[in-house]
Structure formats: C-alpha cells, structure tokens
Structure 1
C-alpha cells in the first residue's frame, strides 16, 4: 500500500477495556450507543470494496485498543490475514494479550534481543519469534513499526496501525509495501513524534519525514474516510468537557459516565492546610490547582517537587477510596493507582527523591514519569507539574499542546496540577509567534490557546499554598 495513494454504580465493563455499559441510568445509554454506532461505521467502511484505508481519531480513553482488537478479530474471523503495527513493545504486548482467544492463531514478531514477558509466552495460540518465516501459520501477526521495517518480500491484505499519530511519516513509508489496505487509529491530541535533531530543513515539504503518519496520509489521500470516537471511558464527567474544549475543539467528545457515578472520598479527615484543602477540592470537583507563590525558578524547582510528593503521600495516608462503574462498592486508591507527571526527566528524578523523603513506604510504587512516557497510561488520580510553572519564557517545547493534554488526561477520578502563580501573565507576555510557512497547516488549538483554556478552567479550583 502506497501512502501517497492510500489511505459506576450498577455499571459493568466486559472484556479488556470494553465499553459495554449495562444497568445504568438513562444518561449512560446515549454514550454507549454513540460509541457503538461509530465503531460499526468503521467496520462497515473496512468491509467496503475498494476501500484502501480508514482513519479513526480517538480522544483519551475512548476504547482505541478495543477497536483495534475488534477489527483484527473480525478480519481473522473472515479469513483475512492481517498485521498489527504499534510503536512500542509494551503496546504490542498489551494488544497481544487482549487479542489472545480460542480460534485465532497469533504471531508476536520481536527483535532478536527482546526479552518476551513470561505471561505472553504462556498464552495459548500465540507463537513468538524474531523470524517472520516461523509465524507463517498465524492469522494475525503483531510487532513494532521498527521491526516491521526489517521484513522484506512479504505483504498482507490488511494492516492495523495503532497509535498512528505517534508514528513518523518516514516510518510509514518504510512499511507501506507490507500491506494493501490499512486501518489507522490514534489520538490527534497527544504528543507528535519526537526528534532529537533539527527538522527545519524539511518544513513545508510534501513528504516531511518528521510529520506524523496520519497527517501525511491525509495530505495525499483527502478522500479517505475519517471517523471520530465520541466517548471517553477514562475521563470522568468532570474532566471530559474541559479536555474536549481545550484540546479537541473540532472533535468534541463526552464522558462515558455521568455526574456522580465516580466519587473520590477519604476515610480520614484532613487538617487545616493547603495540601489537605487541595485534596478535598480534587475529591469534590475532579480538579485542583495547587498554586505556589509566583517566582522564577530553574526547572528543577525544589518546592514544586516537594509539593507534588506531599500531595501524593497525603492522599495515600488519608485513605482515598474511589467508587465508579467498575467498583460500585469502592476500592482503595493505592500508590500503584496514581502517578506524578512532569515535563523533564531531571524533574522526575527530583520528585522521586522528594517522595522517598516524604513517604519512603510508597515511593517505589508511585509512577513518576514524563508526559512522553505516560502516553496511553491510566490512573485513578494524577498529580501534574505544570510545564510552564516558574519559567521566565514560554518556549515551543513547553507550550506543546500535546504535552499538556497527556498530563491532564491520564486520570479516572481527579487531576491535581501543581504550578507557581503567574502562568497567565507569562502566556500574555509570550503570545504565539510561530512563523507562517508555505505548505504547513496551522495547528489548532495551538499550545498557547490550549494552555489558556485549561488554565481558565483550573482557576475555578485553585488553592493557594
């Protein structure tokens, strides 16, 4: 396939990440029905004769992986062999586990030096090999884009590209001859493909290798059908409108659960202080802005790191309990069900050290990571260090809309943002200044507007430290 031519209470979830909701209030039926309608339209387009490609945009937690598994199972059931292409080994392994079921022969194509998880090796009907010749009997073969680029002299009727917006277009060109028709599924609001070298030499060219695969695919194939999944099953009703309006203005979505279905409560009362007040705000509203005094700092802000660690430690010590459609009886929020998101790796190291001092018993269990590494992850509660906190300037890197979108959309119950005062003034002092380049579509919303929008929402949930 040539990409230049082609293409809560009472609630229940079934299967891995499934979006089936039963026995819920009337407000839940439209969301489930809308999601099923779009999924059915995707499957119908895939079955249409002559259709070379289908694109599916997905907001955070919309059941993207569930759609990938459903499409692959349908193709296998119809006797059509296909490949699944993902961007990381973790993504491929997760999809393999989800797809493993009686009647479908799966192949997991790996690099020669990849240590396959033991759980994967024990799955029935799954062959694992670093040689494509040894997987000839598989109806569905899964591997990373980098591994598929090494396969030669083979092609399949179908390919399903997962996280297509995180694939660079040059990688798509490397694997395009491996399939005739493609399903491209991804989240357009997340971070674009990352490059460590200067990329201006390609800006505006029709085959810019640094653009994501979907953008280049659409530029050369404007007639490919585009579907948008309309429901986020991760984000609660308190978060979906804010994330949708800030980062997805042209593809609005709704939460899969209504107000009151998810609750965050504490078994221990808080004391008078900013940390407990912030936690109470987050439990009540689903959002909290823990605002430190305005100050210009280095990016490894000691006070901000300590505040993030203190919030995480205090949430655990107060015995947070999350109630939702999955756990109508409530479930304790353990340290493995929360994460702290940052922008830089040195910030992550600093927060880990602060957490080890504040709560040594849980420090190793709380995930502290950058936005790039948190993509695709899901937690009950997240604590986020705002990318612009304490900065003197607003660079393109720190204004990246996808980075803030990832950080603010990992939670099922509440998101707590730690930031120094003065971000609104910083944004006013650094309005958008990106040059207009021929052949380059303007991004909307850009990082400046997305930051302003989310900051306006957070201002109603502010607690001054």
Structure 2
C-alpha cells in the first residue's frame, strides 16, 4: 500500500503566491520608505515565523548602501552574523562587507572566505570605510563611540526581540538611525541574573530591546510582515491565532500547494498512525496515557524516537511550490524539546535506533531554523505543575512553527486539566508590559486544535 496525495494545481498555486507576494512587497516597500526617507530615528518591523526577516535585512542593506550611507548591522549570534554576511554577499557580490569578529580561533564560518569582497577582521580599524560592517551585539559593545570619528548614519538590528535592552544601550551610541527587525512571538531574551528589582521600570535590562525602545519612543513607525513563507496553509492560521492575535498573518501557499507522502506502507503502530495523520492534515498529537513522570520520561522519549524512525523508514517525499518530489531525509527533520536533558535523552534513543543526521535541540536553539517535518515533546507533558518556564508563550511558538509540511506533538494526556488546575500565579507588576496571549491561552488554543488530530 502506498500513501498518495493529489498533485498541486499550478494555476491555484500561482494565484495564491501572487496574492501573497503582492502583500509582502507592499509591506516591504512601506518599510523601506520609512527607513530611507522617514524622519524617525528608528523603525520597528514585527515578523512572524518564516516571513522573510533575513530577506528584508538583505534588501534594506543593499538599498541603504546604494544611498552612500555607511551601515552597521547588529545580530545576536555568530551564526546569525555569518548567515547574514553570506546572504548579503551572494545577493550583492560587488558590495564590500566587513565581518567584525572576535580574536578566538576559527571565529567565523569559512564559507565567508569564498566571497571576494568580504573582509573579516577582529579590528574595526581594518574595516574602516567599508559601506557595510556586520557583527554581534556582544562584539559591537566593545566599540566605544568616543573612539569613533563619526557615528554610523544607519544601523540594522536583526532579531531585535532576542536582544536584551542592556545590549541595545551598549551599542546605541554608535549609530544615528536604526531598523529593528524581529519576531515578537519567539522566546524572550535570556538572562542568568534575576531582574525582579527592575520589573515594571521602563529601563528594565531584562526586557527585549524593542520593548524598551518603544517604551521611550512610542511614536516610532511600526510595521509587520504579513506573510509566512515557511508555514503551510495548515499551520499558519493556528500559529497566527494562538501566538499573534493582534498582528495576524497568512501563509504564502494554499492548502493544495504542499504535500507529504510515503512510498512504504504503514505498520499498525501509534507512530505510523501519527505519521499518516500529520501527512494528511499537517498536525498530529501522539498522546500517551496520563501520568506524572520524570522530566526525561522514558516512554515519551521512546515515542519521539519511534516517530522519527518511522518517518525515515517509510521513505517520505515532499512536494511544494519549490518543486519535487524531494526525499524526506534526516537533515530535514528536527526534534524540539524544552530542556537540554530531554534533548540528550532523545539523541540517545535515536542512536539506539541507528538514526543519524536529525537535529535534536531545545526551543532556544531552534529559533530561526526551518525543517520539513518537526517532532516535538510538549513542554507540559507529564508535569505535576505548570510553571512560568513551561508556560512561556515563545517556547511553544518556536516549537510549533519550524516546519514547512507537518508537526507531530508527543505528550502525556491531561494537559488541559493541568492548565485548569494551575492558573497563572505570576505577580502582576505596575508598569510591566503584559504579554498577550499568555502561555495559558496559547496552550489551550494549540491543544484544542490538536484534539482533532489525536492518536492515542
């Protein structure tokens, strides 16, 4: 028996893509007009998962460089910096770009050496005069405005919602104007130091750069990208409703534009039933019996590993607006967890099943990445309580928004009852921005949808 699907309708696919592209282009042009010609010192752009943040940054960088303004780009990790430089150098091969890096051994991706006009250096003086210079916020913080002949006329801050406000304070004196681009639905900035003493203050260093920026500059132009090119039509409505109720977005493809199918017939196992449900609808919840378990629940870990093994054994194929059929290989599958010990347990379980090449990581480290199929261990699975960490909206948003075709959730039963029994007990502080939707609402919305795709 072979799992089959209907073929995409080329005319319908083209019409859907054209409508989405028109909306995305209009939004991008409005953003660039504010950046290039507006009188504000900052422009904020909210972007849902897979809406083309990097594409916008690359396009804005090219347009700014074309005006003759020197540009500094701030990203949050070295991987983000290297990806940006590679993308920008590919799009504009004749544009000189500086990659400011640390003095560590192997401080940047060697792929940058393939670009003739990319100049890497640990010293800013070596990059003087280049039209574009890119580095992490941590590296830029070592540059002192007092040591500069003049500030950069323009900056772009990428993944601005992942940047703490104290990091923005450290670099804010280096530039005159800035474009801030990021995803408000992702995880809040991470801090190893408690920040309760600043809660509710407009300069709380633990809040995101955008939150603090808007608290002090409420009149700055705010834009949003309206189309997700990653999430399929089966996922975009749920993710938009559950995590972005006030900034809704749509999928860039229609319901018939992407297909996941398998050439090997299923076995009569829960893992196979979950795989088939996900292939048909884009979602599946593989639900284990209700129980309070250790964090590295052996049965749940085994179930995650079994699903991944069956995805590979059944020789999956994907078809999309990019073409196909394309084999569903291990590098196009990811497993997401809430904790590092859970990820380690999944890796060990996959190793016993002779599975290699599948990405297994926490939500924090999966941010910004994209796969064809994701398998996630629900953060509240098997828990006796619902803590603020496990209820954090951004954690579930990241886990459920990495896929292009299907997402399979593995969880113990009983989470809705757990949520009802443990309403939020976080203190409400005057002046602190209230995040909507909260984790309770987001979890209930996702679980209500998954209830229609449950395999027990």
- TM interval, short-chain normalised: over 0.9
Deviates more, 1:87-96 or 1:194-203: 194-203
Deviates more, 1:258-267 or 1:112-121: 112-121
Q: How many angstroms does 1:51 deviate by?
A: 2.0
Deviates more, 1:336-345 or 1:196-205: 196-205
Q: Secondary structure at the match of 1:138?
A: coil
Q: How many angstroms does 1:296 deviate by?
A: 0.2
Q: In the alignment, which residue of structure 1 is the partner of 2:352?
A: 357
CA distance in 1, matches of 2:374, 2:131: 39
Q: In the alignment, which residue of structure 1 is the partner of 2:453?
A: 461
Which residue of 364, 372, 375 maps to 1:383? 375
User: Relative to 1, partners in 2 of residues 1:399 and 1:49: Cα closer, same or farther, differing over 3 Å?
Assistant: closer
**Following superposition of structure 1 onto structure 2, how do residues 72-83 of structure 1 map, counting pairs within 5 Å?**
72-83=61-72
Q: How many angstroms does 1:23 deviate by?
A: 9.2
Deviates more, 1:205-214 or 1:46-55: 46-55
Q: In the alignment, which residue of structure 1 is the partner of 2:306?
A: 310
Q: In the alignment, which residue of structure 2 is the partner of 1:277?
A: 273
Residue by residue, what CA displacement relative to the aligned partner does 1:94-144 show, whole Å, maximum 9, x if unpaired? 000000023311000001105122211121100000000001131100000
Q: In the alignment, which residue of structure 1 is the partner of 2:79?
A: 90
CA distance in 2, matches of 1:404, 1:371: 8
Matched, 1:56 2:45: yes
Q: How many angstroms does 1:25 deviate by?
A: 3.1
**Following superposition of structure 1 onto structure 2, how do residues 277-426 of structure 1 map, counting pairs within 5 Å?**
277-327=273-323, 329-358=324-353, 360=354, 362-363=355-356, 365-426=357-418
Q: Secondary structure at the match of 1:288?
A: strand
User: Relative to 1, partners in 2 of residues 1:162 and 1:437: Cα closer, same or farther, differing over 3 Å?
Assistant: same
The answer (yes or no) to whether the contact 1:290–1:462 under 8 Å persists in 2 is yes
Q: TM-score, normalised by structure 1?
A: 0.93
The answer (yes or no) to whether the contact 1:340–1:383 under 8 Å persists in 2 is yes
Q: TM-score, normalised by structure 2?
A: 0.95
Residue by residue, what CA displacement relative to the aligned partner does 1:264-298 show, whole Å, maximum 9, x if unpaired? 00011101121111000000000000000100001
Q: In the alignment, which residue of structure 1 is the partner of 2:21?
A: 32
Q: Mind listing any 5+ residue stretches in structure 2 that lack a counterpart?
A: 1-6
CA distance in 1, matches of 2:28, 2:9: 24
CA distance in 1, matches of 2:400, 2:335: 11
Deviates more, 1:48-57 or 1:374-383: 48-57
The answer (yes or no) to whether the contact 1:105–1:137 under 8 Å persists in 2 is no
Matched, 1:222 2:218: yes
Which residue of 99, 104, 119 maps to 2:95? 104
Residue by residue, what CA displacement relative to the aligned partner does 1:402-435 show, whole Å, maximum 9, x if unpaired? 0000000000000000000000000000112222
The answer (yes or no) to whether the contact 2:16–2:252 under 8 Å persists in 1 is no
Runs of 4+ in structure 1 deviating by more than 4 angstroms, as ranges, are 8-11
Q: In the alignment, which residue of structure 1 is the partner of 2:4?
A: none
Q: Secondary structure at the match of 1:25?
A: helix
Q: In the alignment, which residue of structure 1 is the partner of 2:163?
A: 167
How many equivalent pairs are there? 443
Matched, 1:213 2:209: yes
Residue by residue, what CA displacement relative to the aligned partner does 1:172-196 show, whole Å, maximum 9, x if unpaired? 0000001000000000000000112
CA distance in 1, matches of 2:105, 2:402: 28
Q: How many angstroms does 1:250 deviate by?
A: 0.3
Q: Secondary structure at the match of 2:440?
A: helix
Residue by residue, what CA displacement relative to the aligned partner does 1:206-260 show, whole Å, maximum 9, x if unpaired? 2000000000000110110000100000000000000000000000000000011
The answer (yes or no) to whether the contact 2:13–2:254 under 8 Å persists in 1 is no
CA distance in 2, matches of 1:330, 1:259: 17
User: Relative to 1, partners in 2 of residues 1:321 and 1:377: Cα closer, same or farther, differing over 3 Å?
Assistant: same
Which residue of 33, 58, 82 maps to 1:69? 58
CA distance in 1, matches of 2:13, 2:260: 19
The answer (yes or no) to whether the contact 2:278–2:408 under 8 Å persists in 1 is yes
Deviates more, 1:429-438 or 1:229-238: 429-438
Q: How many angstroms does 1:311 deviate by?
A: 0.3
Residue by residue, what CA displacement relative to the aligned partner does 1:315-343 show, whole Å, maximum 9, x if unpaired? 0010010100112x310010000000001
CA distance in 2, matches of 1:325, 1:120: 29
CA distance in 2, matches of 1:434, 1:24: 46
CA distance in 2, matches of 1:283, 1:24: 19
CA distance in 2, matches of 1:120, 1:439: 45
Q: In the alignment, which residue of structure 1 is the partner of 2:437?
A: 445
The answer (yes or no) to whether the contact 1:288–1:463 under 8 Å persists in 2 is yes
CA distance in 1, matches of 2:38, 2:233: 39
